[in-house]
Structure 1
């Protein structure tokens, strides 16, 4: 069975190539006050008049809080994914490779959430929580999501973050801590993405039209939540900016919207091929800046 073959391959990769962030990262290494935390051209305000008004030190501070915000939302999504994966496998055969790999992935996500939390702490930054409406929707999704919604939502969050981190880990001008955290996450998320893509294709093939229509709406809302939650308004406040004015400038910024489309291109294309970026839900994808206006 293809599902079991995929699980066996991913379990072998997991056994050979996994990290322990508590050991593999030097958490005591000092941060460099002059290094950026993310490539400046990926920051939400880059290219705006507000960006031009910032000093080099303010730009570094903004980059720190944007990365802390993205890591915070990453933790929230990983916790949501863990709940959904546990629901997905609860009634399945625990002897199967599929269940073993899902539990292995949950273990990976536990370490990732701890790693992101320690990184935020090392920055001296706060943890940025999603809006109350998004937290409520997350609870609903965690309690009700079926296979299509579980794996499509997982891919949206995983692949957008993966694109940003692949670029960051290769940029030797950035903070070494950010680069190492990005490298660990990219290596381990690669197998999570493979698992989710394969399982999503199976779930879509089995779903009827009513479920696909419902999934289009829920997946579109998940895409909207991901991109709109990446940079919390309080991250701008922490960097010394007016949060409402800075957020408005970011969402008007064509460079930031292009960054979101770039980061989401692979997953948006894949979900569109599966028929999940269709109908009225496309308005949510446009509002998420993942497809052109």
Structure 2
């Protein structure tokens, strides 16, 4: 009971914070007429070919930074649109009634993020990329376990983005509008991550108590979440971005970049916090990082 009360207090506190921090995304930013020539749109150390030696021409790397920024923002637009649908279907249902007010704020904020990331791409890059990978199929489960999967995906999604946002929002090599987009998103996501992790833990405990919580079912859930983590990291490597940056044999470069031994430590870093969360919460028996197969 005390844990439930503490969780509800956190939800109420984050709801109040969302009200206090509310802004109008359509007037929040001053959009420049054009992006400065020769600017880095992404910190070069966060490019997917960094450390691989596959691309060493600086002009090409600058172009790739532009195209990987478009891919990064496009992933947000596609990913959060799908997850917003899942959240909207749950609002004001009996099992989510206590959290519906916060979830309304969550949807409003994510809609703002989806808009301003797409707006950047439309203004300066000719639009967003289409979804480049087939979505990871979600198996049919009862409601309680589906809830765990949906909100686990949201937490994974937000952790990856926050890793990049928190760093590139402070990088003076990036144009001001990009730093601002990253910083604003990071500020909002700090609430979403705080809620999401505690909510996933709460939903997992509820599923174990009220649904089929046997070892086989829990193992299947762990397997699916880990597969989604791998899928999410692989989505950062978009052959269309390589092609648009003028890199020859983009599919070959994608395979070689993903499997390069210097990339695995980076994959571990972007997933470290969420991986640790799943283990510490008892949702994972073993860490994703112990056996991830991004490069295979």
Structure 1 and Structure 2 fold alike (TM over 0.5): yes
Q: Give the Cα–Cα distance (whole angstroms) in 1 for the partners of residues 194 and 187 of structure 2.
A: 12
What does 1:142-291 align with in structure 2 at a 5 Å threshold?
146-206=146-206, 207=208, 208-209=213-214, 210-241=216-247, 242-278=249-285, 282=288, 286-288=292-294
1:36 has 2:43 as partner:
no
1:6 has 2:10 as partner:
yes
What does 1:58-207 align with in structure 2 at a 5 Å threshold?
58-92=60-94, 96=98, 98-131=99-132, 133-134=134-135, 137=137, 146-206=146-206, 207=208
Q: Give the Cα–Cα distance (whole angstroms) in 1 for the partners of residues 69 and 100 of structure 2.
A: 33
Alignment coverage as a number of residue pairs? 284
Cα–Cα, structure 1 residues 233 and 138, in superposed 2: closer, same or farther, change >3 Å? farther
CA shift digits 1:238-289 (9 cap, x unpaired) = 101121122023113334332221111111111122233336x959961137
Question: Match of 2:32, SS?
Answer: coil
Contact 1:65 1:238 in 2 (8 A): yes
CA shift digits 1:69-107 (9 cap, x unpaired) = 1111111221122122123334137874x1100111011
Q: Give the Cα–Cα distance (whole angstroms) in 1 for the partners of residues 219 and 95 of structure 2.
A: 29
Question: Which shows bigger deviation, 186-195 or 144-153?
Answer: 144-153
Give, in angstroms, the shift of residue 19 of structure 1.
Answer: 3.1
Question: Where does the alignment leave 5 or more consecutive residues of structure 1 unmatched?
Answer: none
Contact 1:44 1:250 in 2 (8 A): yes
Runs of 4 or more, structure 1, over 4 Å off, are 138-141, 281-285
TM-score (norm 1): 0.87
Considering Cα pairs closer than 8 Å and 6+ residues apart, tell me whether 1 or 2 has the greater RCO. Answer: 1
Q: Give the Cα–Cα distance (whole angstroms) in 1 for the partners of residues 70 and 139 of structure 2.
A: 23
Q: Give the Cα–Cα distance (whole angstroms) in 1 for the partners of residues 159 and 119 of structure 2.
A: 22
Question: Where does the alignment leave 5 or more consecutive residues of structure 2 unmatched?
Answer: none
Q: Which residue of 1 aligns with 2:55?
A: 51
Question: What CA RMSD, in Å, does the superposition of the two structures yield over aligned residues?
Answer: 2.7
TM-score (norm 2): 0.86
Contact 2:222 2:283 in 1 (8 A): yes
Q: Give the Cα–Cα distance (whole angstroms) in 2 for the partners of residues 94 and 45 of structure 1.
A: 42
